[in-house]
């Protein structure tokens, strides 16, 4: 999947002093690399871009590991880095490659699927949902993904996005309404 080669970091201090920092980072990467990748994939809609953004996220996290003071805020800290990195990447590429479209998307499917027909129907459904998700405004997409897919509370989403609890609730309501409209266009809801 993802791997980040950090090698020896030139800090002027012996490599032994980096061992605890490296071990902490390795635990962080092991625990959060997959959820961060999935979150970013939902944000940008492209697995290759998501892998690059995830790698950039963990490189930035490694460089700023000393700024993490409270272990309870690790998840929000990493998601904030991933969000900012994804938004920066989307801004850079906005004019290069349009989101959505009729291009074929391939998704990995677990082997537990009942059969080829169910896989085709499920793939079409996933594609339509992803297409609707990608049509949301970036802040609506972010709020919806964090709340409904990453299972964060409105308080946690607010901390991550820099919004009050009430602002998150309002944004989430608007995002869900916008998503419903896009799903209706896709023929998934009425």
Q: What are the domain boundaries of the chain?
A: 15-96, 115-190
Written as tens digits, the pLDDT of the chain (190 aa) is 444 544 434 444 444 456 777 888 888 899 999 999 999 988 888 899 999 999 999 999 988 887 877 776 788 889 989 988 988 887 777 644 444 444 444 445 444 544 555 545 555 567 778 888 888 888 898 898 888 888 888 998 998 888 999 999 999 999 999 988 988 887 777 7
Query: Taken in order 105, 110, 116, 120, is the CA torsion positive or negative?
Result: negative
SS (H, E, C) 20-46: HHHHHHHHHHHHHHHHHHHHHHHHHCC
Q: What is 15-96's CATH topology? A: Rna Polymerase Sigma Factor; Chain: A (1.10.1740)
- The CATH number of domain 115-190 is 3.40.50.2000: no
Cα 152 → chain centroid? 13
Question: Do residues 86 and 53 touch, judged by C-beta distance below 8 A?
Answer: yes
């Amino acid at each position: 999947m993802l791997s980040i080669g950090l090698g020896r970091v030139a800090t002027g201090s012996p490599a032994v002093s980096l061992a605890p920092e490296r071990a902490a980072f390795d635990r962080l990467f092991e625990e959060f690399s997959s959820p961060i990748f999935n979150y970013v994939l939902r944000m940008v809609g492209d697995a290759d871009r998501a892998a690059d953004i995830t790698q950039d996220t963990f490189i930035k996290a490694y460089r700023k590991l000393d700024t993490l003071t409270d272990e309870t805020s690790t998840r929000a800290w990493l998601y904030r880095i991933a969000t900012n990195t994804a938004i920066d990447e989307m801004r850079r590429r906005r004019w290069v490659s349009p989101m959505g479209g009729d291009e074929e998307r391939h998704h990995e499917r677990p082997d537990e699927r009942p059969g080829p027909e169910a896989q085709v129907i499920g793939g079409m459904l996933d594609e339509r949902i992803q297409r609707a998700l990608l049509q949301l405004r970036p802040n609506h997409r972010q709020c919806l993904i964090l709340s409904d897919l990453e299972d964060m509370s409105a308080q946690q989403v607010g901390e991550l996005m820099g919004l009050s609890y009430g602002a998150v609730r309002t944004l989430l309501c608007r995002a869900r309404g916008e998503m419903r409209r896009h799903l209706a266009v896709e023929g998934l809801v009425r």
